[in-house]
Each structure stands twice: as C-alpha cells, then as structure tokens.
Amino acid sequence: MTTKHNQSELTLGFMMGTTYRKLSMLFQSGLKEHDITPEQWSVLFHIDRTEGLIQKDIAKRSGKDKPTTTRILDHLEGKGLIYKRTGENDRRSFKVYITEKGRSLVKETVPIEDKVTEEIMNCISSKEYELLMELLLRINNHVDQITDGE
C-alpha cells in the first residue's frame, strides 16, 4: 500500500479527511432521495435519540461548530423535521424536538447508514472494526482534551 501512495497521502489527517469524504459521499448517495445531507442527518439523528437538547449540546454530540449547527437546525426546521421551544429558565436559549415527519425520516434512513457500515465491514474484520472505532474514539477524546473541547 505504501508504494502506491505518495508520502502526503499517508499522514493521519489526510487519510482521515479523505476517508471521511468518501464515506460521506457513499452515505449521501443513499440519502439523496430523502432530500437530506449527511450533515443534516447526523444532527437530526442526535435530536431523535435525545429530544429537548439545547443547540450547544447538539453541536457537541454531532461534532459541529455552533454556526454550522444553527444553519443545519434552520434547514431542518424549514423542512418540518424539528421544532424549537424557548427554554424555561433562559429565554435566550431554546430546546429542540423532532417532529413525526423527522422521526419517520430517521427511521427510513438509519438502514442507509447501516448499509455504509456493512460495506466497510466487507473489507475489514469485526475485530479490526472494533479496534478502528476504539482508536478513533481515543484520538477524538485526546483532541478534545488538548483543545478544551472546542
């Protein structure tokens, strides 16, 4: 493998970025008919799993910054997939909830995400997959620590 790629392709950041884009494109092709992007889907998925989250928590769970999360939430709300309620204790914040339409979309599209994972499992073993996930989580947590979770 190392003989087929130049050295810049072997850096961790480059390989992770390239792999992410390819997986995202694969996922996007399955989501296309549902009129939702992988970025929007990941936010909607987290809202479906835990309703009543505030934007800051949604951003953290989905790995997005606050401006990107705001834009995605506005799109999802415009599509009728979520709705917002002003916070009881802080009128400046709001909690986000999924609509039935949003819940139905998540239910229809989770198998598409599962299929992407299955496709990856065609080229690595279950043990390798578990190790990969463990290492990615460790890297993710370490980067959170050195950046104060920004």
Residue 116 belongs to a domain: no
Long-range contacts, stretch 101-109, CB < 8 angstroms, 24+ apart? 102/44, 102/47, 102/48, 102/76, 103/48, 105/34, 105/36, 105/44, 105/81, 106/41, 106/44, 106/45, 106/48, 108/34, 109/30, 109/31, 109/34, 109/36, 109/41
Structure confidence at residue 1 (pLDDT): 47
Residue 133 belongs to a domain: no
Structure confidence at residue 102 (pLDDT): 98
pTM as predicted: 0.83
Per-residue pLDDT of the chain (150 residues; tens, 9 = 90+): 444 666 656 888 899 999 999 999 999 999 999 999 999 999 999 999 998 999 999 998 998 999 999 999 999 999 999 999 987 776 678 999 999 999 999 999 999 999 999 999 999 999 999 999 999 999 989 998 998 755
What range defines the domain where residue 99 resides?
7-108
Residue 30 belongs to a domain: yes
CATH code (residue 41): 1.10.10.10
Structure confidence at residue 63 (pLDDT): 87
Given its phi and psi angles, is residue 57 left (phi above 0), alpha (psi -120 to 50 degrees) or beta? alpha
Structure confidence at residue 2 (pLDDT): 47
